[in-house]
């Protein structure tokens, strides 16, 4: 039993009634991490001393000055910089790196009165979909410790699924919030590109990256997104679009909602159980007054190739900042400056990161630019147009988040193409820049499956409305893995 | 499209400022070859007159008044620097 079974609204009641204090809530997070994280391996760094002091301070704040997330413990993906708390992106090249400022969203968490308990493991520089690409440890899926939690925000999803923290932040470049949320049976939102400031998010692919919340239920997810959203003078790509009160949209009413189901999303390669869970979910939504029609997103099959070229090209540029000079790992084997760059990067980056830097540099180099990079950007235009066209006539697009439940650790790692194929349902969404949420919708072999709901630019409100209506009429989000009941 | 040669891989590694061994050059040549083969499928698309998309949202220049603001203090800037002397960052010799 843990109080993290409760929603934040219930926890606020417990704080008000005096049944709990913020100090106790914070202690519960660290106690559970101590008991469970030996198995789950989600955290890279803990913020125990500061969090404990902060909690005691927050307990003194009068209730009328507190918002809905006040005092709630949260874990933060390790590619989001936190001043004074080691941030590594799960890479050796940033071992020991101490950020000298907070990401904008970390400031926003503080403004909301949330307590950052630690930093969460990931695939190195968010490149991967299993957490096996971390330079430090492989996070396990709380539902079955021999399976991956997904990635790259695998530990962000695993920590919430294990009840170590009720909230976490992840980042999503090609599915990195939604796929782990599906694999771990939790709620994960990738907001519209530009919805959340990226200032202080260590960049992987700047035109695709977006930070988003992971929680155990839809309401808490909506509250956290509202807290971190909004334009930021430090991020010129953050959008100056008003932030709605997302939680106010959660009334369970989806009468007249028009749902599109792309035939490409239920086609070849998608497992029977995943397919069936989506069809069952559509029945639930129809029963609530929604209409469902089949559509086509004809350029979906090109998304993966376009994504790998564009994201690797952007990454090769972004990761050039790691030069061994101003911060990060510095080789001791270099005789001159050029060698210092080359050796520091060769010794500091892992294999997958090097492969993508190489692919990106190749795609951008003279003689290949038009054939790869420009062609991929044109493919992106066509993919985005597919989505624009569907959204002319429909409110949301629904499909599975992933074609299968979590795979076994080590199952696919030798074949990069197999790992890439795992992303096929999530990647086009980043290329189109639209928002999408994954919510629990079933199980296969006791491993969770995820339902993906995709929306129009800046229409997270509708996604939450649909997700909430579904959640109220099913019980998948109340299930917990066996290790939840730790003594 | 032609396969990627080991020499090409070495050239790209130099552009990317990555030291690689002979073994790695061979491995990357094979892996990058596979990935670019896969990317060849984009050639099926007719992209005549299709504008490339670099950003999904219409981006506008963000401007502000040109007024001086406090920068970061030196000790913060130097916090993660491995080699330094009197507030300067040290690097190995640039010229032989």
Region A108-118: mean pLDDT is 98
Region A234-239: mean pLDDT is 95
Region A349-371: mean pLDDT is 94
- Contacts of residue A234, Cβ cutoff 8 Å, sequence gap at least 6: A104, A197, A199
CB contact under 8 Å between B94 and A337, yes or no, is yes
C-alpha span between A143 and A186 (Å, rounded): 11
Asked whether residue A54 carries a pLDDT value surpassing 50, the answer given is yes
Asked whether residue A421 carries a pLDDT value surpassing 60, the answer given is no
Of A215, A78, A70, A206, the closest CA to residue A151 belongs to: A78
In this prediction, residue A423 carries a pLDDT of 67
A353 touches A319 (CB < 8 A): yes
**pLDDT band, very low/low/confident/very high, at A419 (cuts 50, 70, 90):** low
A381 inside 8 A of chain B by CB: yes
Region A18-28: mean pLDDT is 98
Tokens of A423: 């992303």
A192 touches A209 (CB < 8 A): no
CB contact under 8 Å between B81 and A327, yes or no, is yes
Region A373-379: mean pLDDT is 96
Is A487 a known active-site residue? no
C-alpha span between B74 and A364 (Å, rounded): 36
| DSSP calls for B2-51 | PPPPHHHHHHHHHHTT----HHHHHHHHHHHHHHHHHHGGGGGS--TTPP
Region B25-52: mean pLDDT is 93
Task: Summarize pLDDT for A391-404 with one digit per residue, the tens.
Answer: 999 999 999 999 89
A146 touches A76 (CB < 8 A): no
Task: Summarize pLDDT for B41-58 with one digit per residue, the tens.
Answer: 999 999 999 999 998 888
B64 inside 8 A of chain A by CB: yes
Tokens 């997302």 correspond to what residue? A246
- Contacts of residue A296, Cβ cutoff 8 Å, sequence gap at least 6: A262, A263, A264, A386
Across A405-464, the runs of DSSP E, i.e. the strands, are 436-444, 447-454
Contacts of B29 in chain A (CB under 8 A): none
Contacts of B1 in chain A (CB under 8 A): 371
Residue of B nearest to A387 (CA): B56
Contacts of B20 in chain A (CB under 8 A): 346, 354
The model carries a pTM of 0.97
Contacts of A377 in chain B (CB under 8 A): 52-54
Region B12-29: mean pLDDT is 96
Tokens of A81: 């910089």
CB atoms within 10 A of CB A315: 24
Distance from CA of A452 to the nearest CA of B (A): 21
To the nearest whole percent, how much of chain A has pLDDT over 70? 97
Distance from CA of A300 to the nearest CA of B (A): 12
**pLDDT band, very low/low/confident/very high, at B1 (cuts 50, 70, 90):** very low
Query: Quick one: how far is CA A427 from the chain centroid?
Result: 13
Say if strands A436-444 and A187-190 run parallel, antiparallel, or are unpaired: antiparallel
Say if strands A258-262 and A291-295 run parallel, antiparallel, or are unpaired: parallel
What average pLDDT is seen over chain A?
95
C-alpha span between A120 and A135 (Å, rounded): 13
Is A77 a known active-site residue? yes
Residues A39, A42, A47, CA angle at the centre, nearest 5°?
120
CB contact under 8 Å between A239 and B57, yes or no, is yes
Catalytic: which of A152, A168, A171, A438?
Answer: A152
Region A435-451: mean pLDDT is 97
């Amino acid at each position: 039993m843990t109080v993290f079974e409760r929603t934040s609204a219930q926890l606020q009641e417990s704080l008000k009634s005096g049944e709990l204090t913020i100090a106790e809530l914070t202690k519960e997070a660290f106690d559970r991490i101590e008991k469970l994280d030996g198995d789950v391996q989600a955290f890279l760094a803990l913020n125990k001393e500061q969090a404990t002091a902060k909690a005691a301070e927050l307990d003194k704040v009068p209730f009328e000055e507190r918002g809905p997330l006040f005092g709630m413990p949260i874990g933060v993906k390790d590619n989001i910089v936190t001043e004074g708390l080691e941030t590594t992106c799960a890479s050796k090249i940033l071992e020991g790196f101490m950020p000298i400022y907070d990401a904008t969203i970390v400031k926003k968490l503080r403004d909301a009165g949330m307590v950052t308990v630690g930093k969460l493991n990931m695939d190195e520089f968010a490149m991967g979909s299993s957490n096996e690409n971390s330079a430090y440890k492989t996070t396990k899926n709380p539902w079955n410790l021999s399976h991956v939690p997904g990635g790259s925000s695998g530990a962000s999803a695993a920590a919430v699924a294990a009840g170590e923290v009720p909230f976490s932040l992840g980042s999503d470049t090609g599915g990195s919030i939604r796929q782990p949320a599906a694999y771990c049976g939790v709620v994960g939102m990738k907001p519209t590109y530009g919805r959340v400031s990226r200032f202080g998010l260590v960049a992987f692919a700047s035109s695709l990256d977006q930070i988003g919340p992971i929680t155990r239920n839809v309401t808490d997810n909506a509250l956290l997104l509202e807290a971190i959203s909004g334009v930021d003078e430090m991020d010129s790509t953050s959008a100056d679009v008003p932030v709605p009160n997302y939680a106010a949209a959660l009334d369970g009413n989806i009468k007249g909602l028009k749902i599109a189901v792309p035939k490409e999303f239920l086609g070849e390669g998608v497992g029977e159980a995943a397919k069936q869970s989506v069809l069952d979910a559509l029945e639930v939504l129809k029963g609530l007054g929604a209409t469902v029609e089949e559509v086509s997103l004809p350029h979906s099959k090109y998304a993966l190739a376009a994504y790998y070229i564009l994201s690797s090209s952007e990454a090769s540029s972004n990761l050039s900042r790691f030069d061994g000079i101003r911060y990060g790992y510095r080789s001791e084997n270099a005789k001159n400056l050029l060698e210092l760059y080359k050796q520091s990067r060769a010794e500091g980056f892992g294999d997958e990161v090097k492969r993508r830097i190489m692919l990106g540099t190749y795609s951008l180099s003279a003689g290949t630019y038009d054939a790869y990079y420009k062609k991929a950007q044109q493919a992106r235009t066509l993919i985005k147009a597919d989505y624009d066209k569907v959204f002319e006539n429909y409110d949301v697009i629904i499909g599975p988040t992933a074609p299968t439940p979590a795979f076994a650790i080590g199952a696919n790692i030798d074949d990069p193409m197999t790992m890439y194929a795992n992303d096929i349902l999530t990647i086009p969404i980043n290329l189109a820049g639209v928002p999408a949420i994954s919510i629990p919708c079933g199980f296969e072999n006791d491993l969770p499956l995820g339902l993906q709901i995709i929306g129009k630019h800046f229409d997270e409100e509708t996604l939450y409305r649909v997700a909430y209506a579904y959640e109220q009429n099913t019980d998948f989000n109340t299930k917990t893995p066996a290790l939840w009941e730790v003594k | 499209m032609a396969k990627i040669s080991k020499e090409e891989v070495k050239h790209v590694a130099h552009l990317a400022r990555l030291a690689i061994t002979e073994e790695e050059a061979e491995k990357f040549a094979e892996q990058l070859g596979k990935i670019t083969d896969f990317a060849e499928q984009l050639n099926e698309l007719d992209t005549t007159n299709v504008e490339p998309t670099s950003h999904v949202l219409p981006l506008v220049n963000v401007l502000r008044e040109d007024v001086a603001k406090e920068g970061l203090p030196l000790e913060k800037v130097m916090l993660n620097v491995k080699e330094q002397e009197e507030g300067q960052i040290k690097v190995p010799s640039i010229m032989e």
